[in-house]
Chain A
Amino acid sequence: GDSVTQMEGPVTLSEEAFLTINCTYTATGYPSLFWYVQYPGEGLQLLLKATKADDKGSNKGFEATYRKETTSFHLEKGSVQVSDSAVYFCALRVASGTYKYIFGTGTRLKVLA
């Protein structure tokens, strides 16, 4: 069945470091791919998305490219800030009857000043 695999956390970085959080997926058909972020005490917020192969989603300095050949959607940011500390979820949306989302386990990022 469809699934998402994320790298294990927590990830601890110093401010201004480069961030990569790996995400790979298994899906039939042509899923859309998403990154959601959860800040402490808040809900899941959409960070970025890509709906077809080679699309690049970007927002707030974060980027991810939909790579069909490697079935990946890795999240990157060139220079992280303390305010980026949160849990990041990779997800895919299947084209089922209701377009349900399938999530990874989430990766906790902690950025130190």
Chain B
Amino acid sequence: EPEVTQTPSHQVTQMGQEVILRCVPISNHLYFYWYRQILGQKVEFLVSFYNNEISEKSEIFDDQFSVERPDGSNFTLKIRSTKLEDSAMYFCASSEGQGGTQYFGPGTRLLVL
């Protein structure tokens, strides 16, 4: 069964450093999403992406964040200058259509020291 994959599974970084989280969505899916979950809190929507542009972003997704689909298979989330409060589990998801069921990856646990 096709699945969404994410790398790395864990990332530790120093405050102020740039990180890139990578995702490979399901191959025939056209809509891509990033969510995050700070420990003990809710899973929160960050951004959605379609046709090589951002469709919607939350207030969390400020100028320090960016997303990109650099090739036909990867979907990346970049945090330009990490803060302590960026420590969280980041989930990538994809869906075939706009209202389709979203399929999630296993997540990347980011720890900012």
| A residues neighboring B (CB under 8 Å) | 4, 34, 36, 41-46, 49, 89, 91, 93, 95-106
Contacts and interface: CB of A to CB of B under 8 A. Distances in A.
Contact of A45 (B43, B99, B104): B104
Can you list the 9 inter-chain pairs with the closest CB atoms, starting with the nearest? Answer: A103-B43, A44-B104, A43-B106, A98-B48, A98-B56, A100-B45, A98-B55, A43-B104, A43-B105
A105 B40 contact: yes
B31 interface: yes
Chain B interface mostly:
strand
Contacts of A105: 40-42
Contacts of B33: 98, 100-101
Given A96-B56, A100-B56, A43 B42 contact: no
Interface in B24-46: 31, 33, 35, 37, 40-45
Contacts, number: 61
Contacts of A99: 95, 98-99
A97 B106 contact: no
Contacts of B91: 43-44
A43 B3 CA distance: 9
Question: Which residue of A34, A44, A102 has the most chain B CB atoms within 10 A of its CB atom?
Answer: A44
A37 to B, nearest CB: 11
Contacts of A98: 31, 33, 48, 50, 55-56, 98
B48 to A, nearest CB: 4
A63 to B, nearest CB: 18
12 contacts: A43-B4, A43-B6, A43-B105, A44-B93, A46-B101, A97-B56, A98-B31, A98-B55, A100-B56, A101-B43, A103-B35, A106-B43
